[in-house]
Amino acid sequence: MQEHTTIAAIATPPGQGGIAVVRLSGPESYAVAAQVFRPMDSRKRVADAKGYTALYGQFADGAELFDDGIALFFRAPHSYTGEDAVELSCHGGDAVARRLVEACLAAGAVPAGPGEYTRRALLNGKLSLTQAEAVMDLISAGGRQGAALANAARGGALAQKIAAQQQALTSLQAHLTAWVDFPEEDVPALEGGSLRQTLSGVKAALDELIGNYNAAAVLREGIDCAIVGRPNAGKSTLLNLLAGFDRAIVTPIAGTTRD
C-alpha cells in the first residue's frame, strides 16, 4: 500500500522513439517535479502550476541539465489516479527516460509497481472494477472491434448494466425485508408472479451479459488458427481473403509460403 507515497515510472514502451513520458502521481508530485524540471520562463514556478496546464523547460539531474521537454500538470482529484500528478515528456530513448526516472527517485519518489496507477484510480473512486479491467483490455486489444468494446466498458457501459440489475435485486430485497420485519406497517406483499418476473428479468439480463462477454473474448483475445492443405490448394488466397488485404504471397510456384 503506497497511497501516501509519490510514485514514478516510464509510461511509454521501451526502446527508441521521438518522445518518452515519465509519470508522477501522489501528494509530492509537484515537489518532485520541481527538483527535476526547470521552466524556461524563469517567472514560472512548478509549485504554482494549475491543473491541465503545460510548461516547457529543461530536465535536471542534480545540477546537470540533460534534456528539455514538456511538463503537464494535473491537480487532484482531476487526474487519472485522483491524485496530484505530473507527466514529464522527454526525448525518446531508454537512456534519457531512465535517467529522468532515476532523478525523480532521488528527489523522493518511489518506483511504481505493475498496474499501480490504475490501482490508485480504483481505490480513489476514479474507476470501477469493470472500468479498471477495461483499461487493460484496451491496452491489449489486437483489433478495432476489440478496442471499441473495451473503450465502451471503460466509459462505464458495462458497469451501468450491472448496477441496474444490482439495484433491481436490492429494491426487491428491501421490499421483502420490510414486509417480513414490519407487518404493522401494512407493507404490500409481493405477489408470486411479480417476484418471478423480476428475478427472471435479472437472470435474463445477466445471462445476456455473460454471453456477450464470451463473444467479446474472441474479439479481445483473437483466435489461433492454422490453414493447412496441399501445395497450391489456395491457402494464401484464403488467408488474404480473410484478412482483407494481401498478407501472403500468391504464386503458382509450389512451396513459396510456409508462414
pLDDT tens by residue, 83-140? 999 999 999 989 999 999 999 999 999 999 999 999 999 999 998 888 888 888 888 7
- Please give the grid coordinates belonging to residue 192: 408470486
Question: Which residues, in sequence order, are bridge partners of residue 65?
Answer: 60
Beta carbons within 10 angstroms of residue 119's beta carbon:
18
- Please give the grid coordinates belonging to residue 168: 433491481
Can you tell me the mean pLDDT for 12-21?
92
Whole-model pTM?
A: 0.70
pLDDT > 90 in the chain, percent: 51
Query: Is domain 7-123 given the CATH code 3.30.1360.120 in the classification?
Result: yes
Res 1 pLDDT > 50:
no
Bin 122: left if φ > 0, else alpha if -120 < ψ < 50, else beta.
alpha
pLDDT tier at 256, thresholds 50, 70, 90: low
Residues 6+ away with beta carbon under 8 Å from 118: 127, 132, 135, 136
- Secondary structure (3-state) at 114: coil
Query: Between vectors from CA 149 to CA 146 and to CA 152, what angle results, nearest 5°?
Result: 150
pLDDT tier at 2, thresholds 50, 70, 90: very low
Rounded to whole angstroms, the Cα distance separating 182 from 168 reads: 21
